[in-house]
Every structure is written in structure tokens, then in C-alpha cells.
Amino acid sequence: ERGVVAAASYEARVFGVRSAMPSALALKKCPHIIFVKPRFEAYKKVSSQIHSIFEEYTDLIEPLSLDEAYLDVTNNKKDMPSATLIAKEIKKKIREKTQLTASAGISYNKFLAKIASDFDKPDGLTLISPEEAEKFVEELPIDKFFGIGKVTAERMHEIGIHTGRDLKKYDKIQLYKLFGKSGGYYYNIARAIDERAVNPHRVRKSIGVEHTFEHDLTNPNAMYQALEKIGESLFRRIEKANARGKTLTLKIKFSNFEQITRSKTEKRPIDQLGKIKVLAQKLLEEAEVQNTAIRLLGLSVSNLSEEKKLWGHQLELNFPSFKR
């Protein structure tokens, strides 16, 4: 009753079911829906098999998720002259090894390759050549742009931006004024420009844990107890990841699905369970959740450092003050 859709099959999507949708809403949209509990160990096993296939062709692999990655095959291990041929081979090997279909997008930069990979699912292969890239982007609905979320897309619709061609009419300064630091990215992708390299060593930005409750929490003591358990899970994760961060963020989703966050940044890395619990409790107090019903609580640590040598504590020196 209180779950969230992690992934929806193409049959379910016909009825409007989407990932991240509350299970109760999915059931309303599709009364004969079948929910299946996730099997993360199985997914990890298959993900490892797929990545081992990628590694036959290149070491320049940037994972996006368990089942998706960017590959730079410019100089590939098999000296194959065509990225399209490589994609076809990879798709075939994935099918033979895992019995799964895969979609591939091929182009000269990451943005276009990602767009192409989503273009003809679930078993597609799409090439966007340099000659057709700008026209392709101009005709693309803004909702299909990778890197433009639902909220931003709605804002763009309000000011008359519906396609790449509409976005291209705005200069860089205008886009910075409208969308802040993301404006430069939007300016470039409207022109099919993306100079980001495929990065096999992308730094993780945050580690988090969240929990949706079977019944809304209305008792403050129950909220604190639940947050304490989430803090313990978070600490186990940062220990496993061998990482520390300086910023702790509390996420709260209320029964009406309204969501807020509260954050606290420390001078030193948050490397103790007790510290997480104390900070989390303070953030919950600051959120003033009395007389509310909470559906979800989450904690995450960001501003990460994965190198132990950077975990050292900065000394605070108290100098004497002198008066004239």
C-alpha cells in the first residue's frame, strides 16, 4: 500500500504507470497490475555480466546505473572501425548471456548518445550522426531532453519553450538569468554540443537512505525512533563505501506528498554514528513536524571525500585577545 514503483514494464506503462509513482496510484491507473518485489542480488549479478561484456571493447566506461553506461569506443580494444557494429555485437552478446534485450544509442557526444538510447526502447539501436544532430535536437520535444527534469520542462512550457528549436532562440545570458548555472548546459545541448568526456572514475556525490512507512507517523517519538534507525543504515553504507561527508541532509515527505529538506554542514567530516544521530535529531526539530503526518523520512551525506588522508580534523586554535 505504501510502496513506490521502482520500474514499470512496457505493458504497465500503457496505463500511465511510471517509475517513482506511489504504488496506490499505480493500482488506480491499472487495477489488474501485478507488483513484484525487487531482487537486488539478481540485478547486481546481471549488471556484472553486462559490464564484463562492455569491458571486452573499452576501459572507458562511465556507469549511470546497474543497467546503463556510457562507453567511449573511439579507440576500442578490437580495433573495430564502427561504433554501430560494436553496439550490435554488444546487444547480441547481452541477449546470449542474459536473455535480455538492450537498447543502444550511438553518437559523437554523451548527450546525444543518451537521447538516442531512449529513442527506440526496449530493443532499439539509434544512430545520431554529426550531419543530422542539430536538426534532430531542434525537433525534439523539451520533455525528452536528458538533463531537463519535469519541473524545469513545465517552467519552459510556460515561457513558450516546447522543442529544441524554441530553446535555441535564447542566448546564454538569457538562459543563465532564467535557469541559473544550468543555463550554460541548456544553451549547449540546444545546439547539440556536449564536451563532457566519458569518465570511468566519476566521483560519487552523496550516500543516502530513505524509508516510506506503512502508516503515516504522527507521534514525534516514533519519528525520532524511525530516524535513528535510518541513521544507523546510513552509517553502515558510508562505512561500506569507505567515504565521509561534511553535509547531512534530512528529507521529509508528508502525507499530502509535500516534500521538504533540511541540511547542516559541519567543518569536519561526519564520521561517527553518534554525530549522525545528533545532527538528524536537530534537523527534525528545526523542521517543526508537530501536528503533521509523515509518509517518508530520509537521510543523506554529501560533500564527500573518499580518501582517508583527507579525513583529518582541522585544529581550532584559540589565540589570546589583547586590548590596548
Q: What is the pLDDT of residue 317?
A: 58
Q: Which positions of the chain have pLDDT values less than 50?
A: 307-313
User: What is the predicted pLDDT for the residue at 275?
Assistant: 93
pLDDT at residue 122, rounded to an integer: 86
> What's at 115, amino acid-wise?
I
Q: What is the pLDDT of residue 282?
A: 94
Active site residues: 68
Give burial (CB, 10 Å; 0-12/13-18/19+) of 301. Answer: buried
pLDDT given at position 212: 87
Give the CATH fold of the 206-310 domain: Dna Ligase; domain 1 (3.30.1490)
Q: What is the pLDDT of residue 310?
A: 44
Domain assignments of the chain as residue spans, ordered by start: 1-38, 206-310
**CATH topology of 1-38 equal to that of 206-310?**
no
Q: What is the pLDDT of residue 314?
A: 52
Q: Which CATH number fits domain 1-38: 3.40.50.1980, 3.30.565.60, 3.40.1170.60, 3.40.50.720?
A: 3.40.1170.60
Which pLDDT does position 311 carry in this prediction? Answer: 44
Q: Which of 175, 137, 135 is nearest to 155 (CA)?
A: 175
pLDDT of residue 323: 54
